[in-house]
Amino acid sequence: MSFTFICPPPAALTTQVNPTCPEKLGNITRFGIVQIAGGPFVDITDEAEWDLRLAAVDNTKVVFTPLLSDVEMPSSAAIESAKDDKTSPFGEGFLLGEGSVAVTAMVKNTEGTIKDTLKALQGFIGLGVVGFDSNGTEFAIGNVAIPISNWFVSTKSPGGISEVDSFSIAFTFKPCWDKGLTLNSLTWDANTKLNA
Protein backbone atom coordinates (compact mmCIF):
# COMPACT_ATOMS: atom_id res chain seq x y z
CA MET A 1 0.00 0.00 0.00
CA SER A 2 1.33 3.42 -0.88
CA PHE A 3 1.32 6.25 1.62
CA THR A 4 -1.37 8.91 1.52
CA PHE A 5 -0.40 12.31 2.81
CA ILE A 6 -0.80 16.02 2.13
CA CYS A 7 1.60 17.31 -0.52
CA PRO A 8 3.18 19.74 -0.05
CA PRO A 9 3.10 19.13 3.70
CA PRO A 10 2.10 21.89 6.15
CA ALA A 11 4.85 24.21 7.39
CA ALA A 12 4.60 22.84 10.94
CA LEU A 13 4.43 19.34 12.29
CA THR A 14 1.01 18.08 13.33
CA THR A 15 0.23 18.85 16.97
CA GLN A 16 0.16 15.70 19.06
CA VAL A 17 -1.89 15.39 22.23
CA ASN A 18 -0.39 13.96 25.40
CA PRO A 19 -1.71 10.58 26.54
CA THR A 20 -4.13 10.73 29.43
CA CYS A 21 -5.23 7.10 29.80
CA PRO A 22 -3.51 3.84 28.92
CA GLU A 23 -5.11 1.87 26.09
CA LYS A 24 -4.62 -1.87 26.11
CA LEU A 25 -6.41 -4.87 24.72
CA GLY A 26 -6.31 -8.01 26.82
CA ASN A 27 -6.14 -11.59 25.60
CA ILE A 28 -8.21 -11.73 22.39
CA THR A 29 -10.81 -14.45 22.88
CA ARG A 30 -13.13 -14.40 19.86
CA PHE A 31 -14.37 -12.52 16.81
CA GLY A 32 -17.84 -11.66 15.57
CA ILE A 33 -17.95 -12.07 11.78
CA VAL A 34 -20.24 -9.99 9.57
CA GLN A 35 -20.74 -9.05 5.93
CA ILE A 36 -19.64 -5.46 5.39
CA ALA A 37 -22.54 -5.10 2.90
CA GLY A 38 -24.93 -5.56 5.84
CA GLY A 39 -24.04 -2.06 6.94
CA PRO A 40 -22.67 -0.60 10.14
CA PHE A 41 -24.15 -1.19 13.57
CA VAL A 42 -26.43 1.50 14.91
CA ASP A 43 -24.76 1.04 18.31
CA ILE A 44 -22.04 -1.60 18.31
CA THR A 45 -22.10 -1.76 22.13
CA ASP A 46 -25.84 -2.57 22.35
CA GLU A 47 -26.53 -6.18 23.32
CA ALA A 48 -30.04 -6.07 21.86
CA GLU A 49 -28.67 -5.17 18.43
CA TRP A 50 -26.20 -8.05 18.62
CA ASP A 51 -29.07 -10.40 19.49
CA LEU A 52 -31.04 -9.19 16.46
CA ARG A 53 -28.03 -9.71 14.19
CA LEU A 54 -27.38 -13.17 15.60
CA ALA A 55 -30.96 -14.13 14.70
CA ALA A 56 -30.97 -12.37 11.30
CA VAL A 57 -31.41 -14.29 8.03
CA ASP A 58 -30.08 -11.56 5.72
CA ASN A 59 -26.69 -9.92 5.18
CA THR A 60 -26.86 -8.21 8.59
CA LYS A 61 -26.34 -11.57 10.32
CA VAL A 62 -23.38 -11.95 12.66
CA VAL A 63 -21.74 -15.22 13.74
CA PHE A 64 -19.26 -15.74 16.52
CA THR A 65 -16.13 -17.82 16.37
CA PRO A 66 -15.72 -20.29 19.20
CA LEU A 67 -13.41 -19.16 22.00
CA LEU A 68 -9.90 -18.89 20.58
CA SER A 69 -6.41 -19.81 21.77
CA ASP A 70 -3.01 -18.62 20.60
CA VAL A 71 -4.31 -15.53 18.79
CA GLU A 72 -1.48 -13.83 16.91
CA MET A 73 -2.06 -10.33 15.56
CA PRO A 74 1.37 -8.83 14.81
CA SER A 75 2.13 -5.23 13.96
CA SER A 76 2.40 -4.32 10.29
CA ALA A 77 5.79 -4.05 8.64
CA ALA A 78 7.19 -1.36 6.38
CA ILE A 79 7.45 -2.12 2.68
CA GLU A 80 10.83 -0.94 1.44
CA SER A 81 12.95 -1.29 -1.66
CA ALA A 82 16.53 -0.53 -2.70
CA LYS A 83 17.82 -0.58 0.87
CA ASP A 84 21.52 -1.09 1.58
CA ASP A 85 22.58 -1.39 -2.03
CA LYS A 86 23.60 0.92 -4.87
CA THR A 87 20.11 1.34 -6.34
CA SER A 88 19.20 4.23 -4.03
CA PRO A 89 21.22 7.29 -2.97
CA PHE A 90 23.50 6.36 -0.07
CA GLY A 91 21.74 2.98 0.11
CA GLU A 92 19.01 4.52 2.27
CA GLY A 93 16.24 2.82 0.32
CA PHE A 94 12.70 3.96 -0.38
CA LEU A 95 9.83 3.53 2.04
CA LEU A 96 6.92 2.47 -0.17
CA GLY A 97 4.14 1.80 2.30
CA GLU A 98 2.83 -0.52 4.95
CA GLY A 99 2.06 -4.22 4.73
CA SER A 100 -1.09 -6.11 5.58
CA VAL A 101 -1.40 -8.10 8.82
CA ALA A 102 -1.93 -11.87 8.94
CA VAL A 103 -4.05 -12.86 11.95
CA THR A 104 -4.01 -16.47 13.14
CA ALA A 105 -5.71 -18.33 15.98
CA MET A 106 -6.35 -21.86 17.19
CA VAL A 107 -9.75 -23.38 17.92
CA LYS A 108 -9.32 -26.24 20.37
CA ASN A 109 -11.53 -29.12 21.48
CA THR A 110 -14.38 -28.14 19.13
CA GLU A 111 -16.65 -30.30 16.98
CA GLY A 112 -15.91 -30.82 13.30
CA THR A 113 -19.38 -29.56 12.34
CA ILE A 114 -18.47 -26.13 13.77
CA LYS A 115 -15.21 -26.20 11.79
CA ASP A 116 -17.16 -26.99 8.62
CA THR A 117 -19.56 -24.09 9.22
CA LEU A 118 -16.64 -21.70 9.71
CA LYS A 119 -14.93 -23.08 6.60
CA ALA A 120 -18.06 -22.33 4.55
CA LEU A 121 -17.40 -18.62 5.19
CA GLN A 122 -14.48 -18.92 2.74
CA GLY A 123 -17.11 -18.59 -0.01
CA PHE A 124 -18.02 -15.05 1.06
CA ILE A 125 -16.28 -11.85 0.02
CA GLY A 126 -16.55 -8.60 1.93
CA LEU A 127 -16.30 -10.00 5.44
CA GLY A 128 -15.45 -7.99 8.54
CA VAL A 129 -14.77 -8.78 12.18
CA VAL A 130 -15.42 -7.24 15.55
CA GLY A 131 -12.95 -8.45 18.18
CA PHE A 132 -13.42 -9.20 21.86
CA ASP A 133 -10.93 -9.69 24.66
CA SER A 134 -10.93 -11.42 28.03
CA ASN A 135 -11.64 -8.14 29.85
CA GLY A 136 -14.98 -7.51 28.15
CA THR A 137 -13.52 -5.01 25.69
CA GLU A 138 -14.79 -4.87 22.12
CA PHE A 139 -12.76 -3.42 19.26
CA ALA A 140 -13.95 -2.14 15.88
CA ILE A 141 -13.78 1.02 13.77
CA GLY A 142 -16.51 3.05 15.44
CA ASN A 143 -19.76 1.20 14.66
CA VAL A 144 -18.23 -0.66 11.70
CA ALA A 145 -16.60 -4.09 11.61
CA ILE A 146 -12.95 -4.20 10.54
CA PRO A 147 -12.71 -5.40 6.91
CA ILE A 148 -10.79 -8.64 6.36
CA SER A 149 -9.78 -10.82 3.44
CA ASN A 150 -8.42 -14.34 2.92
CA TRP A 151 -10.62 -16.04 5.54
CA PHE A 152 -9.17 -19.53 6.02
CA VAL A 153 -10.00 -22.54 8.19
CA SER A 154 -7.55 -25.45 8.33
CA THR A 155 -8.12 -29.15 8.60
CA LYS A 156 -8.34 -30.66 12.07
CA SER A 157 -5.17 -31.67 13.88
CA PRO A 158 -5.55 -34.59 16.32
CA GLY A 159 -4.14 -33.84 19.74
CA GLY A 160 -3.09 -37.30 20.80
CA ILE A 161 -2.53 -38.15 24.46
CA SER A 162 -1.47 -34.81 25.94
CA GLU A 163 -3.16 -32.23 23.68
CA VAL A 164 -6.73 -31.61 22.57
CA ASP A 165 -7.76 -31.69 18.91
CA SER A 166 -7.52 -28.33 17.18
CA PHE A 167 -7.83 -26.45 13.92
CA SER A 168 -6.62 -23.00 12.95
CA ILE A 169 -8.34 -19.98 11.51
CA ALA A 170 -6.59 -17.16 9.68
CA PHE A 171 -7.47 -13.94 7.91
CA THR A 172 -5.80 -10.75 6.73
CA PHE A 173 -6.27 -7.17 7.91
CA LYS A 174 -5.63 -4.55 5.24
CA PRO A 175 -2.71 -2.11 5.67
CA CYS A 176 -3.49 0.64 8.21
CA TRP A 177 -6.42 -1.48 9.45
CA ASP A 178 -6.42 0.20 12.88
CA LYS A 179 -7.03 3.77 11.69
CA GLY A 180 -9.98 4.98 13.77
CA LEU A 181 -9.88 1.92 16.04
CA THR A 182 -12.22 2.21 19.02
CA LEU A 183 -12.20 0.15 22.20
CA ASN A 184 -15.51 -0.23 24.01
CA SER A 185 -16.11 -1.61 27.50
CA LEU A 186 -19.25 -3.72 27.32
CA THR A 187 -21.91 -4.16 29.99
CA TRP A 188 -22.61 -7.68 28.64
CA ASP A 189 -20.35 -10.68 28.12
CA ALA A 190 -19.67 -11.35 24.44
CA ASN A 191 -17.63 -14.42 25.38
CA THR A 192 -20.77 -16.26 26.54
CA LYS A 193 -22.96 -15.30 23.56
CA LEU A 194 -24.17 -18.26 21.50
CA ASN A 195 -24.73 -18.39 17.76
CA ALA A 196 -28.40 -18.51 16.74
User: Per residue in 51-86, pLDDT tens?
Assistant: 999 999 999 999 999 999 999 999 999 888 888 888
In this predicted structure, the answer to whether residue 121 has a pLDDT above a threshold of 60 is: yes
What is residue 2's predicted lDDT score, i.e. its pLDDT?
Answer: 52
Burial of 68 (0-12, 13-18, 19+ CB in 10 A): buried
What is residue 151's predicted lDDT score, i.e. its pLDDT?
Answer: 98
Span 144-154, average pLDDT: 98
Omega before residue 19 within 30° of 0, cis: no
In this predicted structure, the answer to whether residue 1 has a pLDDT above a threshold of 80 is: no
In this predicted structure, the answer to whether residue 4 has a pLDDT above a threshold of 80 is: no
Q: What is the pTM of this model?
A: 0.90
